[in-house]
Amino acid sequence: MAEMTYLEAIKDGLRQALCADDQVYLIGEDIGAYGGCYGVTQGLLEEFGPERVMDTPISEIAILGSSVGASLLGKRPVAEIMYADFLPVAADQLINQAAKLRYVLGEDARMPLTVRSPYGGGGGYSFNHSQSPESWFLNAPGLSIVMPSTPADAKGLLLSSIQSDNTVLYLEQKHLYKTLKGEVPEGSYTIPLGKGDIKREGSDLTIVATGWMVHRALRAAEKLHEQGIEAEVVDPRTIKPLDEELILTSVHKTGRLMTVCESPLTGGFGSEICAIVSEKGFSSLKAAPVRLASPDLPVPFAPAAEARYYPDVDRIAQAAATLVRE
């Protein structure tokens, strides 16, 4: 095991994939000589050359459009969209082509395309560089969505994504890049897509959280422990496919459900979790599910305003304590 930042774990995963399969290549804006906007791909151009680490013009359509064609011809492109906020620019290539062509063309077709994209706030990047857009893509058939919250998960899930024969949207929480460290297995390993993880055991309520919010939920769980409340924190890791069994089993044990998401409340991933539990695990519930998320507003630029925008540790702990005492 080696201690790595979230960023270093992703870079190590990319390096492992490039070494293991010569059909894998990286493509995106400024990922080569510049090393990526956040330095994730720094040094990979020198190590693997321009045919494996390709810089592109500022065109999300070109990045994903060319990757779709290359995937159909047997390559395994790992395309970077510099900010997840820019994914809608290439929505046709991602949603209507990459996610659907394998179904349209039949069982012999493959679409081994991984789309990496930094998302989320925590750095004062303002409204068009700070969004958490996973819910925009939940309704796209054929698209897997990965949201790792730890360095070890980031590397293992990235390698699984690249090895998949389907299109994977791999979302990286950019606030975690350099602020989060953890032990990461050396060498190559995979974590199955669709397999969640219990980050903290508990008996009084289930908190389902994603990305950055997993860590806030864990800190809130420690505060709740001081009050005699034991929260179980569940990290889906991939929100599509979703480990429904893990979540339902947890709620069956605790009887209560809270979701914590970075994205805005309306139509968010938390709503989907609450719907699934209400439909398939209603008899286990002792109280109505609770959703915590950001308000239905653009992400503010001012640091003090941005800090109030996202669910924080105190809000999570307070809402959880209220839910348990109902």
Q: Are 235 and 191 spatial neighbours (Cβ–Cβ below 8 Å)?
A: no
Q: Is there a catalytic annotation at residue 129? A: yes
Q: How far apart are CA 113 and CA 125, in angstroms?
A: 28
CA distances, 236 to each of 107, 157, 241, 260, 312 (Å): 29, 12, 9, 12, 20
Name the catalytic one among 129, 175, 215, 252. 129
Nearest Cα neighbor of 6 from 33, 28, 39 is 39
3-state secondary structure of 294: strand
Dihedral, CA atoms, 256, 258, 259, 264, nearest 10 degrees? 140
Q: How far apart are CA 174 and CA 184, in angstroms?
A: 18
Q: Are 1 and 184 spatial neighbours (Cβ–Cβ below 8 Å)?
A: yes
Residues noted as catalytic: 129
